[in-house]
Amino acid sequence: MLPKLQSSKPVERLNLSLRPRSLTEYIGCDNTKKIINIAISAVKSSGLMFGNTLLVGQRGMGKTTLAELVCKELNAQYRLVGGKAIRNVADLNSLMMSLPSNGFLIIDEVHGLRQEFTDLLHQAMDSFTYTYADIDHRVITIRTPPFSLIAATTSEGRLTAPFLSRFRRRLYLEPYTPLNLQTIVMNCAKNNNLSIDSRSAYEIAVRSNGVPRLALNNFLNVHEYSKSNGGRMDLKTTEESLALHGIDSYGLNQQQRQIIKVLDTIPLGVQNIESRTGISQESVLNFYEPYLLQIGFIERTARGRILTPAGKKYKTTMRF
């Protein structure tokens, strides 16, 4: 059986369609989109393969969406798996042998793929074959259909140099502005025949840490809240819903405030932050810290995280 993408993507609820339907609806990331569009045109005009591409960016920034849109634009078939879903060589073999010919393999969270498998994968990226010795020391050669790999990661640094060198494009998703996120929210509303005014969509946008998935989650929560409130998605409903979910005017949530609470001028490592807040190191690193760094509330030093003057000022406004 094919390994399934281990996905906990929380936005796909209430049966709303949240994905952009075309690259034109993929908002922001202009440079990345330009490169992708050039590559798509080259494939269409010359019949060349798309080529192996690595997408790097925080969770919820649109890596999987972009990979799927490439396939859609090229009318190409694909298989989508999470790196951790490949647990043994049999999983890898059944996946690789069942790839659509001249199609795509999309691997989400590719840093979760064990190194023994990335070693085999980069052989396949070079020559559409890979070789390994089984437990009886027999040499097994697997041939795959021709494919292009689009791999997504939040942690490029965890990939090995030989694997990284096989990607001819490494694309770093650019940060989203509040205006980008406002458009994403408005488009999602339009695609689902919902109405939200632009001021409310902007309020959601500025409180979503620059991450499309958070903006859509906040939008869904506002939509849900509005149902218990006469159905109007106006600024009042938006602010009430955000407040109910513990999101303040900076877009910080309860966990981010807890992190700020335990930080000061003495540097704290992530391990220490975990033991003082109960928030796992992985969550601190992947979800909560990036935006606090981005808005300059905390700083990373060689000995750990500290609060900046702006962070300290914010802390004085917090109610404990």
Q: From CA 174, how far away is CA 184, in angstroms rounded?
A: 15
Which residue's C-beta sits nearest to ligand ADP? 62
* β-strands 139-143, 53-56 pairing: unpaired
Q: From CA 59, how far away is CA 291, in angstroms rounded?
A: 12
The answer to whether the CB of 74 falls within 8 A of the CB of 44 is yes
- Beta carbon nearer to ligand ADP, 123 or 208: 208
Residue 65 touches ligand ADP, criterion: CB under 6 A: yes
Q: From CA 56, how far away is CA 60, in angstroms rounded?
A: 11
Q: Tell me the closest approach of the beta carbon of residue 63 to ligand ADP, in angstroms.
A: 3
Tell which one of 96, 184, 263, 284 touches ligand ADP (CB under 6 A). 184
Stretch that binds ligand ADP, among 36-44, 54-62, 231-239, 247-255 (CB under 6 A): 54-62
Q: From CA 98, how far away is CA 104, in angstroms rounded?
A: 11
| Residues of this chain, 215-234, that bind ligand ADP according to CB under 6 A | 216
What is the number of alpha carbons within 13 Å of residue 319 lying toward its C-beta?
2
Tell which one of 32, 52, 64, 200 touches ligand ADP (CB under 6 A). 64
Residue 57 touches ligand ADP, criterion: CB under 6 A: yes
Residue 178 touches ligand ADP, criterion: CB under 6 A: no
Q: What mask of x and - would describe binding to ligand ADP in positions 135 to 174, judged by CB under 6 A?
A: -----------------x----------------------
The answer to whether the CB of 152 falls within 8 A of the CB of 107 is yes
- Beta carbon nearer to ligand ADP, 22 or 228: 22
Distances (CA, A) of 278 to 59, 161, 263, 270, 300: 21, 34, 14, 11, 20
What phi, psi does 233 have (nearest 5°)? -100, 80
Q: Tell me the closest approach of the beta carbon of residue 242 to ligand ADP, in angstroms.
A: 18
Q: From CA 258, how far away is CA 318, in angstroms rounded?
A: 10
- Beta carbon nearer to ligand ADP, 79 or 213: 213
Q: What mask of x and - would describe binding to ligand ADP in positions 187 to 216, judged by CB under 6 A?
A: -------------------------xx--x
- Beta carbon nearer to ligand ADP, 214 or 270: 214
What phi, psi does 142 have (nearest 5°)? -110, 130
| Residues of this chain, 247-266, that bind ligand ADP according to CB under 6 A | none
Count the Cβ atoms, other than its own, within 10 Å of residue 316: 6
Residue 18 touches ligand ADP, criterion: CB under 6 A: yes
Amino acid at 263: L
Residue 60 touches ligand ADP, criterion: CB under 6 A: yes
The answer to whether the CB of 269 falls within 8 A of the CB of 250 is no
Stretch that binds ligand ADP, among 15-23, 88-96, 196-204, 267-275 (CB under 6 A): 15-23
Stretch that binds ligand ADP, among 63-71, 142-150, 260-268, 281-289 (CB under 6 A): 63-71
Residue 28 touches ligand ADP, criterion: CB under 6 A: yes
The answer to whether the CB of 311 falls within 8 A of the CB of 298 is yes
Residue 84 touches ligand ADP, criterion: CB under 6 A: no
Residue 27 touches ligand ADP, criterion: CB under 6 A: yes
What is the number of alpha carbons within 13 Å of residue 123 lying toward its C-beta?
15
Count the Cβ atoms, other than its own, within 10 Å of residue 10: 12
Residue ranges binding ligand ADP (CB under 6 A): 9, 11, 18-20, 26-29, 57, 59-65, 152, 184, 212-213, 216
